[in-house]
C-alpha cells in the first residue's frame, strides 16, 4: 500500500489547515489572488534591481538614471491614484482590477521590446497608470471580505505578496537576466500578469459592501475561544469588530463635526479628500506609510548593487542571502498581523498603532549596524531581523486605516494614501541613486561607500515613524468612534 496520502485526504488536510490559519478556503482564495496582485507590482521593481548591472551596461545609464527608471511607474501611478480610488468606491472592483492587471502585461511586453532607454522609460509610464488601481481596490476588497477583528492577520498574509514578489523579481528576474537577457525577465512578468487577470475574473466574486460578504470562518488566533459557537459566527462579537466594541463600551465620544450627515457616495472628490485629511490618525498613518515605502523602494532597487559592492558576494551567494532575508520578512509580516490581532482580542485596543511604532523603531536600530558591518556573516542576521521588523509594521497599519475611515470611503481613502505612497516610491530610487552618486564620488570604492552612506541617511525617517505612530495612539479611539457613528448613520 502506498505511504502517500490520497488526493481526497490531502485536500481535506489542506482545507483544515487553511481554515485554522486563515479562517477557511474562501479566505485562502482571497489571500492568494490579492497577494498575487501586490506580488506582481513588487516583482517588477525587484527585477529592475536584479537586472541593474545589465540595464546600466546595455543602455549606458548611471545609478541616478536607473533610479529614475524605477521611479517613473510610481510617479504616474501617484497621479492616477485618486480617480482609481473613486472608481473603487463606485464600480465593480474585481473587473477594475482585472483590466488593470491585463494592462500591466501590455506594459511589460512593451518594456521588453525597448530598443533604447527612452522607449523603456515610456513603457514604465504606462505601467504606472495600471499600478495605481491595485492599492485602493485590494484594500477595499479586503475590508468587505474579512471581519474587522481578523483584518490585521489576513492583511499580514496578503502583504506577503509584496515580499514574495520582490524576492521573485530579485532571484528569478536576476537569474533570467544573467542567463538570457533582462528582456526575457520582462516577458515572464507579462505572462504572469495575463494568467493572474484570467484567475481574478474567474475565481474572485465581487463582495457586497458594508459587511454582508464577510468570510467569517474560524479565527486564526488560538486564544481559547469557545468551541461551541455556531459555524461562521465570530467569537468576538456579531461582526468581530473588537476595536469598535471596546470604544463604545468605554463611552468614547466621536468628533461631531466629522460625523457624515450625507451619503458618502455622493460627496464630491475635493470634499472627500478634505474630509479624509481632517482625520488626525489618518494623516499620521499616511505619513508613516509613505515614509516606510520610501525606504523599501530605495532598498529593493539598489539591494543587489549594494550587496555585491559592499560585501563582495558572488551572484550565486546573493540568491541564498536574498532567500534568508525574504523568509524572515515573510515571517515578520505574518507575525505582525497575527500578533496584533491576538493582543487586540485581549483588550489592547491601541495594538494597531502600537505594533507599527515598535516595528519601525526596531527596523531602524537593527539595520544601522547591518549597513555598517562589512562582514556578510555578521551583518546578515541583523539585516534580516530589521527587514522582518519593517514588514511587521504594514499589516496593522493597513487594518488601522480601515478602522478610522467610514466603509463607503475606503477606496478614496486608500487612493489618497496610494497617491502619497507612490509619490514617495517615485522619489525614492532617484533620491537614493543621486545621494549615492554625490556621497560616493568617483571610482568603484566611492560608489560602494556612497550607497552605504545613502542607506544610513535614509534610516532617519524610519526612526521618526516610530514616534509618529506613538502620537497616533491619542487620536485613534476618537477617530474609530467617529467612523462608527458615520457608518451607522449611513445604514439608516
Q: What pLDDT, in 10s, does the model give residues 134-185? A: 778 888 888 888 877 778 888 888 888 877 887 777 667 667 776 777 788 8
| Per-residue model confidence (pLDDT) at position 233 | 38
Give residue 88's domain range: 24-204+260-491
Looking at the 3D structure of the chain, how many domains does it have?
1
Q: What is the domain-level CATH number for residue 162?
A: 1.20.1250.20
Calpha distance 26→28 (Å, rounded): 5
Among residues 393, 397, 400, which one has the least CA distance to residue 332?
A: 393
Asked if 27 contacts 146 with a C-beta cutoff of 8 angstroms, the reply is yes
Asked if 281 contacts 400 with a C-beta cutoff of 8 angstroms, the reply is yes
Asked if 424 contacts 296 with a C-beta cutoff of 8 angstroms, the reply is no
Does a structural domain hold residue 212? no
Residues 6+ away with beta carbon under 8 Å from 429: 66, 67, 68, 69, 70, 71, 297, 298, 301, 302
Does a structural domain hold residue 461? yes
The SS3 call for residue 132 is coil
Residue with cell 489572488: 33
Rounded to two decimals, the pTM is 0.72
Residue 272 cell numbers, joined: 472627500
Does a structural domain hold residue 232? no
Vertex 325: Cα angle to 320 and 330 (nearest 5): 120
Does a structural domain hold residue 388? yes
Among residues 193, 159, 176, 188, which one has the least CA distance to residue 330?
A: 159
Calpha distance 61→57 (Å, rounded): 7
Asked if 144 contacts 210 with a C-beta cutoff of 8 angstroms, the reply is yes
| Per-residue model confidence (pLDDT) at position 363 | 92
Vertex 479: Cα angle to 481 and 265 (nearest 5): 85
CA 302 to chain centre: 19
Q: What is the pLDDT along the chain (492 residues), one digit of tens a residue?
A: 444 444 455 455 445 555 555 666 778 888 889 988 888 877 776 677 667 677 777 776 666 677 677 667 767 777 777 888 888 888 888 898 898 888 888 888 887 887 777 787 877 777 777 777 677 888 888 888 887 777 888 888 888 887 788 777 766 766 777 677 778 888 888 898 899 999 998 888 888 876 656 666 544 444 443 333 333 334 333 344 556 665 665 667 888 888 888 877 778 888 888 999 999 999 999 888 888 888 877 877 777 777 877 777 776 677 777 778 888 888 898 888 888 888 887 778 788 899 999 999 999 999 999 888 888 888 889 989 998 998 899 888 888 888 888 888 888 888 888 788 777 877 887 788 888 878 876 544 445 577 788 888 888 888 888 888 888 888 888 898 898 888 877 655
What would you report as the CA-atom Rg of the chain, rounded to the nearest whole angstrom?
22
Calpha distance 155→220 (Å, rounded): 12
Calpha distance 130→342 (Å, rounded): 36
pLDDT digits (tens, 9 = 90+) for 49-99: 667 677 777 776 666 677 677 667 767 777 777 888 888 888 888 898 898
| Per-residue model confidence (pLDDT) at position 2 | 43
Residue with cell 505612530: 469
Among residues 92, 100, 96, 98, which one has the least CA distance to residue 197?
A: 98
Does a structural domain hold residue 114? yes
Residues 6+ away with beta carbon under 8 Å from 180: none
* Cβ atoms within 10 Å, residue 365: 16
Calpha distance 319→172 (Å, rounded): 9
Does a structural domain hold residue 198? yes
Does a structural domain hold residue 486? yes
Calpha distance 62→51 (Å, rounded): 13
Residue 128 cell numbers, joined: 504606472
| Per-residue model confidence (pLDDT) at position 196 | 92
Among residues 334, 290, 356, which one has the least CA distance to residue 135?
A: 290
The count of residues in the chain is 492
Calpha distance 360→484 (Å, rounded): 28
Residues 6+ away with beta carbon under 8 Å from 43: 165, 166, 168, 169, 173, 189, 192
Asked if 272 contacts 409 with a C-beta cutoff of 8 angstroms, the reply is yes
The SS3 call for residue 114 is coil
Residues 6+ away with beta carbon under 8 Å from 390: 292, 295, 296, 329, 332, 359, 360, 363, 462
Calpha distance 337→393 (Å, rounded): 8
Calpha distance 161→463 (Å, rounded): 25
Does a structural domain hold residue 2? no
| Per-residue model confidence (pLDDT) at position 234 | 41
Asked if 354 contacts 469 with a C-beta cutoff of 8 angstroms, the reply is yes
Furthest C-alpha separation in the chain? 71
| Per-residue model confidence (pLDDT) at position 296 | 79
Classify the C-alpha dihedral 427-288-211-342 as positive or negative.
positive
The secondary structure of residue 258, as a DSSP letter, is G
Residues 6+ away with beta carbon under 8 Å from 165: 38, 39, 40, 41, 42, 43, 44, 46
Among residues 22, 34, 341, 304, which one has the least CA distance to residue 158?
A: 34
Exposed / middle / buried, residue 434 (Cβ in 10 Å: 0-12, 13-18, 19+): middle
The secondary structure of residue 256, as a DSSP letter, is G
Calpha distance 222→313 (Å, rounded): 42
Asked if 105 contacts 131 with a C-beta cutoff of 8 angstroms, the reply is no
Amino acid at each position: 500500500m502506498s505511504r502517500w496520502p490520497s488526493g481526497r485526504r490531502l485536500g481535506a488536510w489542506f482545507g483544515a489547515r487553511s481554515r485554522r490559519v486563515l479562517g477557511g478556503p474562501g479566505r485562502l482564495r482571497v489571500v492568494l489572488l490579492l497577494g498575487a496582485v501586490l506580488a506582481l507590482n513588487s516583482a517588477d521593481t525587484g527585477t529592475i534591481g536584479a537586472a541593474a548591472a545589465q540595464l546600466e551596461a546595455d543602455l549606458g545609464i548611471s545609478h541616478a538614471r536607473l533610479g529614475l527608471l524605477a521611479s517613473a511607474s510610481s510617479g504616474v501611478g501617484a497621479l492616477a491614484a485618486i480617480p482609481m480610488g473613486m472608481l473603487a468606491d463606485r464600480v465593480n472592483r474585481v473587473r477594475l482590477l482585472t483590466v488593470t492587471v491585463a494592462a500591466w502585461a501590455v506594459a511589460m511586453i512593451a518594456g521588453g521590446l525597448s530598443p533604447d532607454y527612452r522607449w523603456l522609460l515610456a513603457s514604465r509610464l504606462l505601467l504606472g497608470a495600471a499600478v495605481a488601481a491595485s492599492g485602493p481596490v485590494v484594500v477595499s476588497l479586503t475590508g468587505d471580505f474579512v471581519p474587522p477583528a481578523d483584518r490585521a492577520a489576513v492583511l499580514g498574509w496578503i502583504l506577503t505578496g509584496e515580499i514574495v514578489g520582490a524576492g521573485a523579481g530579485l532571484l528569478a528576474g536576476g537569474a533570467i537576466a544573467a542567463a538570457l537577457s533582462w528582456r526575457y525577465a520582462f516577458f515572464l512578468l507579462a505572462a504572469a500578469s495575463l494568467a493572474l487577470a484570467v484567475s481574478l475574473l474567474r475565481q474572485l466574486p465581487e463582495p457586497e459592501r458594508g459587511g454582508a460578504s464577510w468570510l467569517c470562518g474560524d479565527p486564526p488566533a488560538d486564544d481559547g475561544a469557545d468551541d461551541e459557537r455556531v459555524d461562521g459566527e465570530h467569537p468576538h462579537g456579531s461582526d468581530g469588530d473588537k476595536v469598535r466594541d471596546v470604544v463604545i463600551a468605554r463611552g468614547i465620544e466621536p468628533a461631531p463635526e466629522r460625523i457624515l450627515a450625507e451619503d458618502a457616495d455622493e460627496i464630491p472628490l475635493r470634499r472627500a479628500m478634505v474630509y479624509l485629511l481632517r482625520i488626525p490618525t489618518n494623516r499620521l498613518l499616511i505619513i508613516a506609510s509613505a515614509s516606510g515605502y520610501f525606504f523599501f523602494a530605495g532598498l529593493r532597487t539598489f539591494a543587489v548593487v549594494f550587496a555585491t559592492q559592499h560585501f563582495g558576494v558572488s551572484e550565486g551567494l546573493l540568491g541564498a542571502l536574498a532567500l534568508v532575508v525574504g523568509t524572515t520578512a515573510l515571517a515578520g509580516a505574518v507575525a505582525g498581523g497575527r500578533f496584533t490581532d491576538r493582543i487586540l482580542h485581549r483588550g489592547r485596543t491601541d495594538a494597531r498603532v502600537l505594533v507599527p511604532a515598535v516595528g519601525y523603531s526596531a527596523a531602524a536600530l537593527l539595520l544601522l549596524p547591518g549597513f555598517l558591518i562589512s562582514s556578510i556573516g555578521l551583518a546578515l542576521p541583523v539585516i534580516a531581523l530589521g527587514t522582518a521588523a519593517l514588514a511587521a509594521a504594514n499589516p496593522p497599519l493597513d487594518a488601522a486605516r480601515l478602522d478610522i475611515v467610514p466603509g463607503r470611503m475606503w477606496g478614496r481613502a486608500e487612493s489618497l494614501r496610494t497617491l502619497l505612497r507612490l509619490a514617495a516610491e517615485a522619489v525614492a530610487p532617484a533620491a537614493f541613486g543621486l545621494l549615492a552618486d554625490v556621497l560616493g564620488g568617483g571610482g568603484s570604492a566611492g560608489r560602494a561607500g556612497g550607497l552605504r552612506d545613502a542607506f544610513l541617511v535614509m534610516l532617519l525617517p524610519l526612526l521618526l515613524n516610530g514616534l509618529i505612530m506613538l502620537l497616533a495612539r491619542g487620536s485613534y479611539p476618537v477617530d474609530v468612534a467617529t467612523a462608527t457613528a458615520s457608518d451607522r448613520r449611513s445604514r439608516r
